[in-house]
Structure 1
């Protein structure tokens, strides 16, 4: 009897304990611990003091998923040639299942928000189900919620202002459940990757013959990098896309940048006359605008070269705004929109990026995994590598040491990064081509052999100035010096990896057209395929370098290098 009495008592105690666990008491929400902070205001930003009274912001609370690596695991399965699930892409609903947070995560976060008086009507789920968006939160309320001190900051070069804080905290109980909150300490102001053409030194030009001899004879003056030259150089001139209703190419615009149809028509009439009816659709995202009478050079060059390579493939230009208060995050805003679509363009080009060191590691991981969601759904994302070589200026950190400066989102392992070249057969690295190694993301498995080989050849040079175990960029490259565009009816030349990205995106779009035509799925996330082919289909670039940080930079050598990646595309070899 005594034995059974003990069991009975224990059962009652256990029942009470489990009942308590099922409905936990609210944690001490005032037990705040720093989530992320900067010692100083990030470079190129200055504080203007507290924002005007009544300023509202939209807060994104990124929740950790129940299955932490589920999306990345799925991405590699659908992206690695030879895997049984290769190109077996997932639907929007299937991805949402992979990124869903734990039920207790949602319960705790909602309890915390309720404690601070956040109305449930202002809370919505975004980004496939792993993010809570709080609409229209006052800065005063955000300061209380996050133990922050939001201020108005101005970008010293562009003059644009945003609302940010140099540090924020979360209750101890939420640190394990919340990856990051945005906008907080990430001073994202995407920089476009184009610049005024440099005066190039003369290089030896190999003899050639035929139609392209005249075209190439003045290459040192960058007078020949026209669409016809690019289509000849990358071997796409004999291929015409035919799946016009099924294959789409997307171009992402930020900062109020949008293109001109009139300039596109003028460009095509001069440089690809059979395509003078080329057009594009504008999709306005998060307050993005479209005023064709006030185009932007960046948007014009992106759409003109994507069209020049991929015509008559349909093109969508995403005009992404910064929201009514000017505090929204550009990448997060666009990704929120695109991941909510049932149908997404198979190829997307992005020519904007930031110094990796200007954003928090948690924020970078968050955005990077959103790009992984695109890859799982069969989307190839091409981004520019930057125009600062290994880094702009002296590359000094707050502690006075030098560190090379890679650019995000290129450092994300789940996008394909495009560097720059110049000259012709053989092409050489453009001396501004952004390249290097991530300080936030480790080297992915698909890069292991190629990058390790480069590092062995590099030896001790620049030791300690970069992360030798980090993700290497770029992955691929294309012409980036002195390409003509039309802007406000006038012709001018532009330079930068900003142009290289849509050129490569156009070529990838042609490959996707052929796959769809032959009844197969598009390429999706490219990198495991590109690296796994042992550079097959690419032309290795072995000359040039990318100086920066007052140093000579890395050198282009046989095989992969952090200047031109695996090389430049050869369409029919890739096909």
Structure 2
């Protein structure tokens, strides 16, 4: 179907967009493109049309009356010294902020009625900003969105998704709809590549190939690597005893059928923290996420074992969210569930992401905005930056004209300004950047105000190096970095050693959860969105890391320098210094 805008005469005749009066039925077919890929995204192959009786659930996000209301409120409650600092909002208060104009909601419902979407299949959530259409026949979804939904399979993992290369909306609605999912977002949440990954036992060690020259990458049979006790000592949490364990919740997000094993967790604690052998967690299954502890994943085990080892006996919840298949988008499904809770977890660890260049801008904006809502509710959300330095492979990316060029490749959602991104370090005294630490600058999101003083000194020091390979005006990642090498875990009753920012992220989450425990046990609100504090009052509680780099894209990558840098961010966490700072307000 051809996409075009309403003519000036049509707008005058039907009073759009000023009055948002419902246009005649024929004008529901007057469509404008929302997002289009020029070709099938890299590493995906087309399997053709789905069976005729296939259905799909669609999430339609409508824009708020005031599009800046959530971000303005988030900055207020997370800015040191602001009168509203720490005054997080309730579910109902956030829903009020994100509610669309009533006439836009009426217009959207008229559009759905025109396409015979039965009202009983439509649920309205989050103040009317989120319409979920359940069980829509694919043939109807194609007409509704001028789409062509087909089955696509990811080369390498064989995961199959139902997606379209393009979609559009009526001209009368396109400016009022932020995004529709699932549509053109093909990526599914992936964990960072773990370097190294080995199984140890007896005289045999199985190890994947690791990059040459990475400090500390090779382990001897006697090397125990980084342990919970060494992490607790180095980041100074050992002497703290949690007092709000029943009220303070640490959430671990899992996707793609990844889940932990309670037996492995307890075996891990027996070996590395014998005062926490009764550690446990609750499992919440979202959108068919499933849970089979007899078939755990290394990623889920790693997250649960280290968040538990740092934050025990804090309440833990593992969220098992369904895969990115025809049932929908996992990030959207997880956020829909959590934002619908009366009370959200105070800390969330999420070592998953996708290359930012593979993410449609409208989808990225929507998901990032939902994380902002979560921060406004009082949650501290941490994402890993990945293990590819500034980018994996040759970093060739196609532009809108279909031409290829080299571009550094940051990872989403860590590039979202409203989450805290975690890079990697290695070594003690001094702590240095891990060479695989993901870092760089977002192409989709501009630099947030809290980075205005931190990032320019790095860019000035960088000079003209790498001009054209990154966006100097983009949101910089990471925000912080912690140990990311040689983590022992228990996996299927066997000892393994892993490394990567998927290690540093749960460690950071455990420390932040203890800070939230300190706040809650003293009758104060949790920290919520962290970055205003990290770049402000709490900067004195961080260990600056000034050496190391993150090569990638056939370059030497960025270098760690005094102050913020796109390798280690502001540095690592010193729990005792942070507690001292937080005790003053």
Superposed pair shares fold, TM > 0.5: yes
**Alignment correspondent of 1:140:** 139
**How many Å separate the matches in 1 of 2:275 and 2:396?**
51
**How many Å separate the matches in 1 of 2:232 and 2:127?**
38
**Alignment correspondent of 1:193:** 192
Q: Is the 8 A contact 1:62 1:179 kept in 2?
A: yes
Q: 1:219 to 1:311 in 2, by over 3 A?
A: farther
**Alignment correspondent of 2:175:** 176
**Partner SS, residue 566 of structure 2:** coil
Q: How many residues of Structure 1 are paired with residues of Structure 2 in the alignment? A: 545
**Alignment correspondent of 1:461:** 465
Q: Is the 8 A contact 1:201 1:220 kept in 2?
A: no
Report matched runs for 1:389-428 at 5 Å: 389-398=389-398, 399-428=403-432
In the TM superposition, residue 544 of structure 1 has moved relative to its aligned partner by: 0.9
Q: 1:163 to 1:262 in 2, by over 3 A?
A: same
In the TM superposition, residue 194 of structure 1 has moved relative to its aligned partner by: 4.0
Report matched runs for 1:228-239 at 5 Å: 228-239=229-240
**Partner SS, residue 406 of structure 2:** coil
**Partner SS, residue 296 of structure 2:** coil
In the TM superposition, residue 120 of structure 1 has moved relative to its aligned partner by: 0.6
In the TM superposition, residue 245 of structure 1 has moved relative to its aligned partner by: 1.4
In the TM superposition, residue 129 of structure 1 has moved relative to its aligned partner by: 3.3
Q: Is the 8 A contact 2:282 2:317 kept in 1?
A: yes
Q: Is the 8 A contact 1:248 1:315 kept in 2?
A: yes
**How many Å separate the matches in 1 of 2:537 and 2:547?**
22
**How many Å separate the matches in 2 of 1:36 and 1:237?**
50
**Partner SS, residue 456 of structure 1:** helix
In the TM superposition, residue 48 of structure 1 has moved relative to its aligned partner by: 1.0
Q: 1:240 to 1:119 in 2, by over 3 A?
A: same
**Alignment correspondent of 2:5:** none
Q: Is the 8 A contact 2:351 2:501 kept in 1?
A: yes
For structure 1, which runs of at least 5 residues remain unmatched after alignment? 1-16, 205-217
Q: Is the 8 A contact 2:100 2:127 kept in 1?
A: no
Superposed CA deviations along residues 29-88 of structure 1, whole A, max 9, x for unmatched, are: 111121100111112211111112211111011101111110100000100011010001
In the TM superposition, residue 219 of structure 1 has moved relative to its aligned partner by: 9.8
Q: Is the 8 A contact 2:406 2:469 kept in 1?
A: yes
**Alignment correspondent of 2:24:** 26
In the TM superposition, residue 134 of structure 1 has moved relative to its aligned partner by: 0.4
Superposed CA deviations along residues 444-469 of structure 1, whole A, max 9, x for unmatched, are: 00001110111000000001111100
Superposed CA deviations along residues 179-228 of structure 1, whole A, max 9, x for unmatched, are: 11110111121110241413674869xxxxxxxxxxxxx89996330001
Superposed CA deviations along residues 464-518 of structure 1, whole A, max 9, x for unmatched, are: 1111000000000111111010010000001111111110000000011111111
Q: 1:24 to 1:330 in 2, by over 3 A?
A: closer
1:432 and 2:432 are equivalent in the alignment: no
Q: Is the 8 A contact 2:22 2:110 kept in 1?
A: no
**Alignment correspondent of 1:368:** 368
1:61 and 2:60 are equivalent in the alignment: yes
Q: 1:247 to 1:22 in 2, by over 3 A?
A: closer
In the TM superposition, residue 363 of structure 1 has moved relative to its aligned partner by: 0.7
Q: 1:482 to 1:203 in 2, by over 3 A?
A: closer
**Partner SS, residue 504 of structure 1:** helix
CA RMSD of aligned residues (A): 2.0
Q: Is the 8 A contact 1:263 1:487 kept in 2?
A: yes
**Partner SS, residue 419 of structure 1:** strand
Task: Provide TM-score, normalisation by structure 2.
Answer: 0.90
Report matched runs for 1:490-569 at 5 Å: 490-533=494-537, 535-569=539-573
**Partner SS, residue 535 of structure 1:** helix
Given the alignment, which residue of 426, 443, 446 partners 2:447?
443
**Alignment correspondent of 2:206:** none
Compare CA radii of gyration and give the structure with the larger one: 1
**How many Å separate the matches in 1 of 2:68 and 2:481?**
30
1:297 and 2:301 are equivalent in the alignment: no
Please list every run of at least 4 consecutive aligned residues from structure 1 whose deviation after the TM superposition is greater than 6 angstroms.
218-222
In the TM superposition, residue 22 of structure 1 has moved relative to its aligned partner by: 8.5
**Alignment correspondent of 2:100:** 101
In the TM superposition, residue 287 of structure 1 has moved relative to its aligned partner by: 1.0
Superposed CA deviations along residues 330-361 of structure 1, whole A, max 9, x for unmatched, are: 10000000000001110011011011111111
**Alignment correspondent of 2:11:** none
**How many Å separate the matches in 2 of 1:290 and 1:527?**
33
Given the alignment, which residue of 477, 481, 486 partners 2:481?
477
**Partner SS, residue 405 of structure 2:** coil
Q: Is the 8 A contact 2:22 2:107 kept in 1?
A: no
**Alignment correspondent of 1:271:** 272
Q: 1:88 to 1:220 in 2, by over 3 A?
A: farther
Larger displacement relative to structure 2 (542-551 or 330-339) = 542-551
Q: Is the 8 A contact 2:269 2:276 kept in 1?
A: yes
1:353 and 2:353 are equivalent in the alignment: yes
Q: Is the 8 A contact 1:194 1:499 kept in 2?
A: no
**How many Å separate the matches in 2 of 1:520 and 1:339?**
22
**Partner SS, residue 528 of structure 1:** helix
**Partner SS, residue 305 of structure 2:** helix
**Partner SS, residue 107 of structure 2:** helix
**How many Å separate the matches in 2 of 1:127 and 1:384?**
28
**How many Å separate the matches in 1 of 2:262 and 2:184?**
38
Superposed CA deviations along residues 165-192 of structure 1, whole A, max 9, x for unmatched, are: 1111111111111111110111121110
Q: Is the 8 A contact 2:20 2:172 kept in 1?
A: no
Larger displacement relative to structure 2 (158-167 or 193-202) = 193-202
**How many Å separate the matches in 2 of 1:157 and 1:222?**
33
In the TM superposition, residue 534 of structure 1 has moved relative to its aligned partner by: 6.8
**How many Å separate the matches in 2 of 1:343 and 1:380?**
13
**How many Å separate the matches in 2 of 1:568 and 1:537?**
9
**How many Å separate the matches in 2 of 1:525 and 1:328?**
27
Q: Is the 8 A contact 1:219 1:423 kept in 2?
A: no
**Alignment correspondent of 1:45:** 44
Q: Is the 8 A contact 2:80 2:537 kept in 1?
A: no
**Partner SS, residue 97 of structure 1:** helix
**How many Å separate the matches in 1 of 2:554 and 2:212?**
19
**How many Å separate the matches in 2 of 1:542 and 1:518?**
35
For structure 2, which runs of at least 5 residues remain unmatched after alignment? 1-14, 197-209, 580-585
**Alignment correspondent of 1:126:** 125
**How many Å separate the matches in 1 of 2:162 and 2:211?**
39
Larger displacement relative to structure 2 (192-201 or 353-362) = 192-201
**Alignment correspondent of 2:199:** none
